[in-house]
Amino acid sequence: ERALLASTLGRGDRKPVSPGELRVGGRLYRGRSLRVSGADRSPVAIGVFEESSGLTRAIARARTAVLGAVLVLIALALAFAIYIVRGLQAQIGEFLAAARRLRKGDFSRPVEAEGKDEFALLGKEFNKMSEQLSAKIEQVERERREVERTLRRVGEAFAAALDPDERLALALEMASDACAAEAARAVPSERGKLRPARLGRDEPRLQAALELAESAALEIRRERARAPSDAATQPGRSAPVELAGVYALAAPLGAHDELGVISIARRGLAFSDSERDQFASLAVSAAVAIETANLHKTVEQQSVTDELTGLDNVRQFHRNLHGEVERSRRFATEVGLVMMDIDNFKRVNDSYGHQQGDLVLERVARVLQQVSRDIDQPARYGGEEMAIVLPQTDLEGALNLAERVRAGIEALAIERVDGDGTVPVTASFGVSSLPESAGGEEALIAAADAALYRAKRAGKNRVERAEPVPAPR
């Protein structure tokens, strides 16, 4: 039988509602009970209960406190997240602005990289990349400018009418610039037919080093020439020389030094391997360019020159006369023309042979070259006929020059090819001038030619002038 031993819940009916709940006098209590053994080993239940309304309020207060704490923690986390995000946005925005500046080519403003966090390290790497990119762009720009200069110089070389001396001067300038030399020069060989060229400082120490390098380059080439292989015809790098702190390089021009030698020098800094290779390559290219220019000049000369006499041929004669007539009309100047024919030239060929006739033509042509002024243009007109175009010369001046040529030819003592004496030679001349004797190019030739045949009919070995043309009304 159950019995209540003691209670603090007051009096009233006690009705269990559920495990842990007890209703006493109409009030609901909640708690816990524990069964133990009494002194007489009878079961005793000990319970601790609290009125349900007070417990509910305590639980509500606890829940409110926990919820408030959670809300505070969430708010703090959200604020911290916003702070972090804004910081990240600022850093990313700065990187984005820096990237846009780089895209526009502005390397003047680096990214701020203070601190030791990942963004600071990233900023430092970004700045290093920017510096390297700027240096690369500057290098590319320098190389672009160098390419432009090289292309411009190549254009200048072609615009220089393929003149070998112009090519040599240009090669000297390019070698000096490419290797940062203080002095450069080109010394032509006796067979090279080039003019010496110098560039830069003319100090004795530099010139002495240039001479030493030139001797070393020529000695290397002589040693290669003695080698029993094709090495003698292959371009090679010359050994650098040093003289009292001056460094110099030299390389031959041409496979067998037939053009000469080119050399460069500077003080205080030896030439690197790349500079030596570049210089050797330039020397080879310069030799090829000069040889090409020489060949072009020779072909061009042959196309306008009479092979036997060395005078202009008839095609060049007409070109010269046309140019002078046009210039006369433009500037209201005079042009003189001398036409000449060697007297009895057929008899020379028939009596002494064509070799003798060729020798007569050569000697007569030499008289024309010796008597003519620098601006005059002597030519072989055809067969034994020759002519001289006389710029800025009136009829009287043409007569005087023709008379000097006539006297020079008459004074010739041309030896016979068989060695048996000499061959007497004379010539007849006809002179005309523009505008006194003619009004145009063809009329000028016709007037001089008519005067020439009058000289032939009058006994030869004489000078006749063309008839004047009436002045235009």
pLDDT tens for 28-63 read 777 777 777 777 777 877 777 777 777 677 778 888
**Looking at the 3D structure of the chain, how many domains does it have?**
2
The pLDDT assigned to 231 comes to 45
* CB-based contacts of 27, cutoff 8 Å, min separation 6: 51, 52
Domain that holds residue 224: 181-303
pTM over 0.75: no
DSSP conformation letters of 122-149: HHHHHHHHHHHHHHHHHHHHHHHHHHHH
Q: Tell me whether residue 378 is in a domain.
A: yes
Residues 315 and 445 in one domain: yes
Residue 257 has pLDDT above 60, yes or no: no
Are 322 and 289 contained in the same domain? Answer: no
> In this predicted model, what pLDDT tens digit does every residue of 158-181 receive, in sequence order?
555 467 777 788 888 888 888 889
**Would residue 253 count as lying in a domain?**
yes
442 plus 429 within the same structural domain: yes
- What Cα–Cα distance (Å) separates residue 368 from each residue in 372, 389, 425? 6, 11, 14
Instruction: Indicate if 427 and 312 belong to the same structural domain.
Output: yes
Does residue 220 sit within a domain? yes
Tell me which residue of 368, 362, 379, 266 sits closest to 320, measured CA to CA.
379
Q: How confident is the model over 65-108, as pLDDT tens digits?
A: 899 999 999 999 998 888 887 877 777 777 777 777 777 777 67
Which of 270, 303, 336 is the last residue in one of the domains?
Answer: 303
Same domain, 325 and 431: yes
CB 174 within 8 A of CB 150: yes
Q: How confident is the model at residue 281 (pLDDT cuts 50, 70, 90)?
A: confident
Query: With 60 as the cut, is the pLDDT of residue 228 above it?
Result: no
Same domain, 240 and 384: no
Is 470 within the bounds of a domain?
A: no
Domain containing residue 310: CATH number = 3.30.70.270
Same domain, 207 and 286: yes
Does a structural domain hold residue 421? yes
Mean pLDDT of all residues belonging to the chain? 82
d(CA 191, CA 258): 6
pLDDT of residue 2: 61
Does residue 313 belong to any structural domain of this protein?
yes
Same domain, 310 and 451: yes
- By annotation, the residues acting in catalysis are 384
Q: Are 277 and 283 in contact (CB under 8 A)?
A: no
Last residue of a domain, one of 303, 331, 360: 303
CB 344 within 8 A of CB 357: no
Same domain, residue pair 259 and 279: yes
Highest mean pLDDT of the ranges 97-101, 235-239, 355-359: 355-359
Question: Does 312 lie in the same domain as 297?
Answer: no
Domain end marker among 277, 303, 329: 303
In a domain, 25, yes or no: no
Question: Residue 442, exposed/middle/buried by CB under 10 A (0-12, 13-18, 19+)?
Answer: exposed
CATH number, domain at 196? Answer: 3.30.450
Distance between CA atoms of residues 348 and 415, nearest Å: 12
The verdict on 289 and 362 lying in the same domain is no
In-domain check, residue 149: no
Asked whether residue 248 falls in the same domain as residue 362, the answer is no
Q: Where are the alpha helices (DSSP H) in 104-245?
A: 118-159, 164-178, 204-226
